[in-house]
Structure 1
């Protein structure tokens, strides 16, 4: 399995959903992310990071609230937003980096 840094250093955009099991808005993101993934296919990668289980990644990107979504390209954060983001907005953000 690829490490977090290997994943975000990809040539294609990687959307990281920093979330937590206990977080209500994080649960709302799940079907949105599934929709985005099905519409973008292999042109982007979407991964979920549980901040309680991966505190080093959460600390590295100063995650203060969940969900926090970050789009990475070549390992660099290109876009970041906290809270629930709608599918159309997420798709248009990701498409900028494809």
Structure 2
């Protein structure tokens, strides 16, 4: 994904966007990617979930001050509403997403 299309998705997407910044060498990231796919299916009507490889998208990582992998970022209409660096369980991330979606009135 190009930098321009990434920025456009964050700004112009009708639905909120959850971004997982990951690295291919990060063991936890690799273990969590199937969980992210499950969440994408569960929330497909309410939320877009994307993953960004920080090794290939250094500019995006720098722009959003990503200093650790994994890092998660929730955006709505171009505004970053939540960021978290480090490991999360599926239930922790799902609970956070439910809260964020309820605040935004998407649920």
Are the counterparts in 2 of residues 18 and 67 from structure 1 also a CA contact under 8 Å? yes
Deviating more after overlay: 55-64 vs 3-12 = 3-12
Are the counterparts in 2 of residues 20 and 67 from structure 1 also a CA contact under 8 Å? yes
TM-score under structure 2 length normalisation: 0.82
| Higher CA-based Rg | 2
Taking the aligned partners of 2:25 and 2:52, their CA distance within structure 1 comes to 13
Say whether residues 1:11 and 2:18 are aligned partners: no
Structure 1: 5+ residue runs without aligned partners?
Answer: none
> What's the secondary structure of 1:84's corresponding residue?
coil
Equivalent position to 1:51, from 47, 51, 54: 54
Using the TM superposition, give the Cα deviation of residue 28 of structure 1 relative to its aligned residue in structure 2, in angstroms: 1.8
1:85-96 aligned within 5 A: 85-95=88-98, 96=100
TM-score under structure 1 length normalisation: 0.89
1:27-42 aligned within 5 A: 27-42=30-45
Aligned Cα root-mean-square deviation (Å)? 1.6
Question: Taking CA–CA contacts closer than 8 Å with sequence separation of 6 or more, which of the two structures ends up with the larger relative contact order?
Answer: 1
Structure 2: 5+ residue runs without aligned partners?
Answer: none
Using the TM superposition, give the Cα deviation of residue 46 of structure 1 relative to its aligned residue in structure 2, in angstroms: 0.6
